[in-house]
Amino acid sequence: MLLEEIKKDLISFQKDKNEVGVSVLRMLVSSIVNKGKDKRLKIANENPELNDNELDEKSILTEEETIEAVASEVKKRRDSIQSFETGGRKDLVEKEEKELEFLKKYLPKELTEEEIRIIVKEAKEKTGAISQKDIGLLMKEIVPKTKGKADGNLVAKIVKEELQ
Domain limit, last residue, from 57, 72, 104: 104
For the chain, list residues with pLDDT below 50: none
Beta carbons of 93 and 84 less than 8 angstroms apart = yes
> Which whole-number Å values give the CA distances from 79 to 82, 96, 151, in the listed order?
5, 10, 11
Which CATH number covers residue 133? 1.10.10.410
Q: Are residues 62 and 120 in the same domain?
A: no
Q: Provide the pLDDT for residue 121.
A: 87
Q: Provide the pLDDT for residue 84.
A: 95
Q: Are residues 89 and 146 in the same domain?
A: no
Chain centre distance of CA 29: 14
Q: Provide the pLDDT for residue 26.
A: 96
Q: At what angle do helices 63-86 and 90-104 cross, to 10 degrees?
A: 160
Q: Provide the pLDDT for residue 80.
A: 95
Q: Are residues 77 and 12 in the same domain?
A: yes
Beta carbons of 87 and 12 less than 8 angstroms apart = no
Q: Provide the pLDDT for residue 29.
A: 96
Phi then psi for 162, rounded to 5 degrees? Answer: -70, -25
Burial 109-124 (b: 16+ CB within 10 A, else e): ebbeeeebbebbeebb
Q: Are residues 92 and 122 in the same domain?
A: no
Q: Are residues 98 and 29 in the same domain?
A: yes
Query: 131: which DSSP letter?
Result: S
Beta carbons of 148 and 68 less than 8 angstroms apart = yes
Q: Could you give the CA distance from residue 106 to residue 129 in angstroms, rounded to a whole number?
A: 34
Q: Are residues 156 and 94 in the same domain?
A: no
Sign of CA dihedral 157, 158, 160, 161: positive
Instruction: Give this prediction's pTM.
Output: 0.76
User: In sequence order, which residues have a C-beta less than 8 Å from that of residue 148 and are 6 or more positions away?
Assistant: 64, 67, 68, 70, 71, 107, 108
Q: Could you give the CA distance from residue 75 to residue 77 in angstroms, rounded to a whole number?
A: 5
Tell me how many domains the chain contains. Answer: 2
Q: Are residues 68 and 92 in the same domain?
A: yes
Q: Provide the pLDDT for residue 140.
A: 87
Residue 124 structural domain: 113-162
